[in-house]
């Protein structure tokens, strides 16, 4: 099993959007996929509950009540912004890969720096034993904010594996428990393509 944790203690950066999309992608690939929602807001659990049974199945996993079932090949963990320091360490310990979404704003830069400062004190991260990457999220192409975010992330240690544009499609798809990978319409192909480097990266991380 590979565990992918989507983390950033900065709120609203796109953790649930990224987590639900990664789960939908793995499920579509035919991998037995679990989704663990650690957030009390239960946004991804709600998304999963709304997901039609006609779409590739994703299994809800409750990490509080025990270990994920053995047959799960990919477990995606959707972490809350309000993750306590000890809980961040627990997630990092359990995960193989950390995906950190970041928005183009100075508040998100500051919040992300604070998160990274803590992350880098955690042993497996310090020892370089975790694959870690960024997702630049809600990017508006050719804006100063997007350029600023690129420059900010370029200074940091981890690679940026996706740049996702700002589009209402994410909110609209979430209503139906869906994702860009479920709605294989040509209209959304450009948005879907933005995920490909991240999906390839995760394939390379897979045990």
What is the Cα–Cα distance from 5 to 19, expressed in whole angstroms? 8
12 binds, among Mg ion, ligand ADP, none (CB under 5 to 8 A by kind): ligand ADP
In the chain, DSSP assigns E strands to 2-6, 33-37, 59-60, 74-78, 97-102, 131-139, 160-165
Q: Which one of 5, 8, 13, 15 is in contact with Mg ion (CB under 5 A)?
A: 15
DSSP code at position 58: -
Residue among 7, 3, 67 nearest 31 (CA)? 3
Q: Is 179 in the site for ligand ADP (CB under 6 A)?
A: no
Tell which positions 133-162 bind ligand ADP, by CB under 6 A.
137-138
> Is 14 one of the binding residues for ligand ADP (CB under 6 A)?
yes
Q: Nearer Cβ to Mg ion, position 60 or 69?
A: 60
Of the listed pieces 15-23, 68-76, 181-189, 196-204, which binds ligand ADP according to CB under 6 A? 15-23
Binding mask 119-138 for ligand ADP (x = CB under 6 A): ------------------xx
Choose the stretch contacting Mg ion; rule: CB under 5 A; options: 43-51, 109-117, 129-137, 194-202. Answer: 43-51
Of 11, 67, 126, 203, the one binding ligand ADP (CB under 6 A) is 11
Task: Using the structure block, give the residue that is written with the tokens 């694959």.
Answer: 131
Buried b (16+ CB within 10 A) or exposed e, 167-206: bebbeebbeebbbbbbbeeeebeebbebbebbbebbeeee
Helix pair 196-205, 15-28: axis angle to 10 deg: 70
Residue 9 found at the interface with ligand ADP (CB under 6 A): no
Task: Give the interface with ligand ADP as residue ranges (CB under 6 A).
Answer: 11-17, 43, 81, 137-138, 164, 166-167, 170-171, 174
């Amino acid at each position: 099993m590979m565990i992918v944790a989507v983390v950033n203690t900065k709120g609203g950066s796109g953790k649930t959007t990224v987590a639900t999309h990664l789960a939908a992608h793995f499920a579509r690939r035919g991998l037995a996929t679990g989704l663990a929602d650690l957030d009390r807001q239960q946004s991804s659990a709600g998304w999963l509950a709304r997901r039609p049974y006609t779409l590739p199945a994703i299994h809800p996993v409750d990490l509080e009540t025990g270990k994920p079932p053995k047959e799960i090949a990919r477990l995606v963990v959707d972490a809350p912004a309000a993750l306590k320091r000890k809980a961040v360490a627990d997630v990092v310990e359990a995960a193989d890969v950390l995906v950190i979404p970041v928005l183009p704003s100075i508040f998100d830069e500051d919040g992300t720096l604070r998160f990274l400062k803590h992350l880098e004190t955690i042993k497996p991260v310090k020892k370089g034993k975790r694959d870690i990457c960024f997702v630049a999220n809600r990017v508006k192409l050719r804006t100063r904010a997007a350029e600023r975010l690129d420059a900010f992330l370029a200074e940091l240690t981890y690679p940026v594996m996706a740049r996702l544009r700002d589009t209402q499609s994410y909110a609209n798809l979430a209503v139906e428990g869906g994702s860009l990978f479920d709605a294989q319409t040509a209209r959304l192909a450009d948005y879907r393509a933005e995920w490909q480097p991240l999906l390839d990266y995760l394939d390379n991380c897979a045990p």
